């Protein structure tokens, strides 16, 4: 920004700055005044005096117009990535005179987009102008800003005056949630938790509850849960799944947000981390659909449970964030990471989803990860399809 532009901005925000017409009238006024001093012609003094008076009035009135206006902001409802934000502002005119020819500019943060400007023809005395606009979103996050600028050159259009008012805004853009029809990672975790929960119950309590579904017999299923009539119909053993199987289980999805996700060249691997956030959100809501008690863990928030808290945490999390949470839960969990050494510290029965740093390390990472069960994500393949694939063999 040039020095002249900085001076003009400072004058416009602290006092006034001349418009093109103001510079033109000022030059003509100075010309008539100099001509009057040389010729001592009275009519030239009159013209220059009237012009000076117009300039003085035009420089005083714009600030008075803006000082009486009040700006309020309506709450911004959260949206998912790709959906537009709806932003509403109320500009109130409490004075007894109408306010005309205004410009209102909402100073959005640069990561969200360019400032949005609205022209207002008039605001009647004692009334409120309602300005609502939609702004597209391209990436998740929690965006905060508070500045709204009011600008006018009314009533004569000779000088611009701009004043800033505070109207705090918080806009949450949630990560996308992939519609998963199946997810072996969550299904096997839920099955393991169901068997563990069922083994701790008495035999009579294990047969209580409503039958949720009937599935093929798996090794280790209790004989008392076999549905003999359905088994005879299909010619193979079929087992009842009861509601109590999922009534007390808890699944924890953990995002390794404390780790600085990097790619080859030591740059920030934002694409892989964004995929991990989308995967965490998708796994969480898929587990909810399967009637599992599921919670989310990040380094910045710790354990969170309800849907809105989970989405807020995933919208705000960033790679390499400060660790404010306690250590990882000791229960079996799903660990989303790019750090292969962290897999050795997971509780027994846990699963992992791993993003490799670069293609050169993919074979080395694969050899290490084969020791446990999980998913190795390939960046070039669709994430939704990979989350629905069977786990890597142990």
Spatial contact of 357 and 337, defined as CB atoms under 8 Å apart: no
Taking each helix axis as running N to C, give the angle between helix 20-39 and helix 42-67, from 0 to 180 degrees, rounded to the nearest 10: 150
Q: Which residue, of 157, 174, 191, is where some domain finishes? A: 174
Task: Report, in angstroms and rounded to the nearest whole number, the Rg of the chain calculated over CA atoms.
Answer: 33
166, 305: one domain: no
260 vs 394 pLDDT, higher one:
260
- Residue 209 lies inside a defined structural domain of this protein: no
45, 136: one domain: yes
**Beta-carbon-side half-sphere exposure of residue 194 (alpha carbons within 13 Å):** 22
Binning pLDDT at 50, 70 and 90, where does residue 119 land?
very high
Interstrand relation of 159-174 and 141-152 (parallel, antiparallel or unpaired):
antiparallel
167, 309: one domain: no
Q: Which residue, of 174, 194, 222, is where some domain finishes? A: 174
Q: What is the mean pLDDT of the chain?
A: 84
- Residue 289 lies inside a defined structural domain of this protein: yes
How confident is the model over 186-241, as pLDDT tens digits? Answer: 888 756 555 454 444 443 344 444 565 777 877 667 777 788 888 888 888 887 76
- Look up the CATH number of the domain holding residue 329: 3.40.50
With 90 as the cut, is the pLDDT of residue 265 above it?
Answer: no
140, 286: one domain: no
Residue 137 is predicted with a pLDDT of: 94
- Look up the CATH number of the domain holding residue 92: 2.60.40.10
Structure tokens at 243: 């509601």
Question: Total domain count for the chain?
Answer: 2
156, 258: one domain: no
Structural domain harbouring 166: 1-174
Lowest mean pLDDT among 30-44, 179-193, 334-348: 179-193
Of the candidates 156, 167, 166, 163, the residue with the CA atom closest to the CA atom of residue 66: 163
Q: Which residue, of 174, 207, 234, is where some domain finishes? A: 174
With 60 as the cut, is the pLDDT of residue 246 above it?
Answer: no
Q: What is the pTM of this model?
A: 0.76
19, 145: one domain: yes
- Residue 346 lies inside a defined structural domain of this protein: yes
- Residue 183 lies inside a defined structural domain of this protein: no
- Residue 221 lies inside a defined structural domain of this protein: no
Where residue 235 falls (left for φ over 0; alpha for ψ -120 to 50; beta otherwise) is left
- Residue 205 lies inside a defined structural domain of this protein: no
- Residue 71 lies inside a defined structural domain of this protein: yes
Residue 314 is predicted with a pLDDT of: 95
Binning pLDDT at 50, 70 and 90, where does residue 178 land?
very high
- Residue 347 lies inside a defined structural domain of this protein: yes
């Amino acid at each position: 920004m040039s020095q002249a532009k900085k001076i003009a901005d400072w004058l416009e925000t602290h006092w006034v700055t001349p418009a093109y017409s103001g510079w033109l009238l000022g030059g003509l006024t100075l010309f008539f005044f100099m001509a009057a001093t040389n010729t001592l012609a009275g009519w030239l003094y009159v013209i220059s005096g009237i012009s000076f008076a117009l300039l003085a009035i035009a420089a005083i009135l714009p600030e008075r117009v803006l000082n009486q206006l009040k700006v309020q902001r309506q709450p911004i409802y959260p949206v998912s990535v790709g959906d537009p934000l709806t932003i509403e502002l109320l500009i109130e005119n409490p004075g007894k005179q109408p306010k005309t020819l205004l410009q209102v500019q909402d100073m959005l943060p640069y990561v969200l987009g360019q400032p949005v400007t609205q022209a207002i023809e008039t605001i009647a005395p004692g009334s409120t102008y309602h300005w609502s606009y939609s702004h597209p979103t391209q990436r998740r996050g929690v965006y905060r800003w508070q500045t709204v600028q009011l600008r006018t050159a009314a009533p004569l259009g000779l000088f611009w005056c701009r004043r800033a008012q505070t109207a705090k805004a918080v806009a949450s853009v949630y990560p996308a949630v992939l519609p998963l029809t199946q997810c072996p990672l969550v299904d096997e975790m839920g099955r393991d938790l169901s068997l563990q929960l069922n083994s701790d119950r008495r035999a009579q309590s294990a047969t209580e509850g409503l039958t949720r579904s009937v599935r093929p017999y798996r090794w280790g299923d209790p004989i008392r849960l076999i549905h003999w009539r359905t088994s005879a119909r299909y010619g193979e053993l079929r087992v009842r799944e009861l509601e109590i199987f999922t009534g007390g289980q808890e699944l924890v999805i953990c995002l390794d947000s404390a780790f600085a996700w990097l790619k080859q060249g030591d740059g920030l691997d934002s694409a892989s981390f964004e995929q991990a956030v989308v995967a965490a959100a998708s796994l969480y809501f898929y587990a909810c659909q399967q009637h599992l008690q599921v919670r989310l863990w990040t380094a910045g928030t710790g354990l969170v449970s309800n849907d809105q808290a989970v989405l807020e945490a995933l919208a705000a999390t960033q790679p390499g964030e400060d660790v404010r949470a306690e250590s990882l839960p000791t229960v079996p969990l799903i660990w989303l990471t790019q750090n292969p050494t962290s897999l050795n510290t997971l509780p027994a029965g846990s699963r992992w989803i791993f993003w490799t740093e670069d293609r050169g390390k993919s074979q080395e990472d694969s050899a290490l990860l084969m020791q446990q069960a999980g998913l190795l994500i390939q960046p070039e393949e669709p994430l939704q399809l990979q989350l629905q694939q069977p786990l890597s063999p142990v």
